[in-house]
Amino acid sequence: MTQRSHRIPKAALAAAGALALTLSACGNGDGGGDGPVPAEDGELVPIEVGVLPIVDNAAIYLGQQEGFFEDEGLDLTLTQAQGGAALLPAVVGGDMDFGFSNVTSLVIAESQGLDIEILAGGSGTTGDPDEDFAAVVVPEDSDIQDIADLEGASIAVNTLSNISDSTISEAVEQAGGDPDSIEFVEMPFPDMAGALSNGTVDAAAAVEPFQTLILNDQARAIFSNYAYPVEDLTVAVWFTSGDYLENNPEVVEAFTRAIAESQRYADENPDAVREILPTYTDLDPEVIEQLTLSRYPAAVNRDSLQQINEISEKAGIINEQLDLEELFSDYTVTE
């Protein structure tokens, strides 16, 4: 199958900063129906999915390569953005049909009233605070030795008031420290290595492949804020808009089945994940071999999302906890 990848138009990227985030849904399932989406004259139904050039998105590329979407009657186009901020408004605005986002962004989204529905898991923690695809890292000679030592530190995060700073704050509090004493500094992942080495920040919340690149440059990890304090965290998910689901239920069912199969395939075949990465990223082969891969869960862990709900309220990211039953559709794959 021919792999296609496109870039989001500049207009869509510019609109991203002006739009709020959201999520709405309820229910439990594995995609609903049991057959491919019907199409006129035997043609595949075209869908456009927003993706990122990151390790977390390997599953959908593998699913495309293995023909899982074609088997469901779908003609998949992958539209690549450099950051997740562009994907939510693109899906809500109808420029794309499906997208990928971390769960905190979706909790924020629901609190702001847009209409997005979670369909399946995207990436998940390994569950090991000492070996995960994300970690809080410090220079090798840093005085910071454990979570409690992060009290009073300056920590780089890629986005303020989101999944990294809120989970780090909760971990520090549980370790007996004062999270309000932490200074979080927003910066892109590629800039974190330089900021650590020149002392601009004391620590950085890095994800793969940046975690490996930083650790290879005289740094060490303190803990994974995806593996702790939330247990078995579903970090990111695949989603669509409420409007698209209402108008295209059979397509959404077919996509959910295909992405769930893709997630399972990636989770069971880590070598295939490493082999697919050079087709859509610029990662060096040596770095690819060193990466700590995420898990690729098909199902969304409801309990972990509830913990994110509570942490987000505690951190002041949302005004009040959400009713999580409204976060899932009838097609959502959950556990």
pLDDT, position 274: 98
Asked if the structure places residue 130 within a domain, the reply is no
DSSP label at 327?
A: B
Q: Is 121 in the same domain as 241?
A: yes
Q: Is 166 in the same domain as 259?
A: no
DSSP label at 8?
A: P
Place of tokens 């909790």: 107
Domain count, the chain: 2
Q: Is 158 in the same domain as 253?
A: no
Q: Per residue in 44-87, pLDDT tens? A: 999 999 999 899 999 999 999 999 999 999 999 999 987 777 88
Q: Is 46 in the same domain as 187?
A: no
Look at residues 172, 198, 223 and tell me which one is the last residue of a structural domain.
223
3-class SS at 58? helix
Q: Is 272 in the same domain as 211?
A: no
- Low-confidence spans in the chain with pLDDT less than 70: 1-35, 37-41
- Record the pTM: 0.86
pLDDT, position 1: 38
pLDDT, position 83: 72
Instruction: Give the pairing type, strands 234-241 and 98-102.
Output: antiparallel
Domain that holds residue 182: 148-223
Q: Is 209 in the same domain as 294?
A: no
Query: CATH number for the domain including 184?
Result: 3.40.190.10
Place of tokens 């994940």: 273
pLDDT, position 35: 66
Q: Is 204 in the same domain as 270?
A: no
**Of 323, 283, 272, the residue nearest 302 (C-alpha):** 323
Rounded distance between C-alpha atoms, residue 133 and residue 291, angstroms? 8
Asked if the structure places residue 142 within a domain, the reply is no
Question: Is the separation of the CB atoms in 128 and 85 below 8 Å?
Answer: no
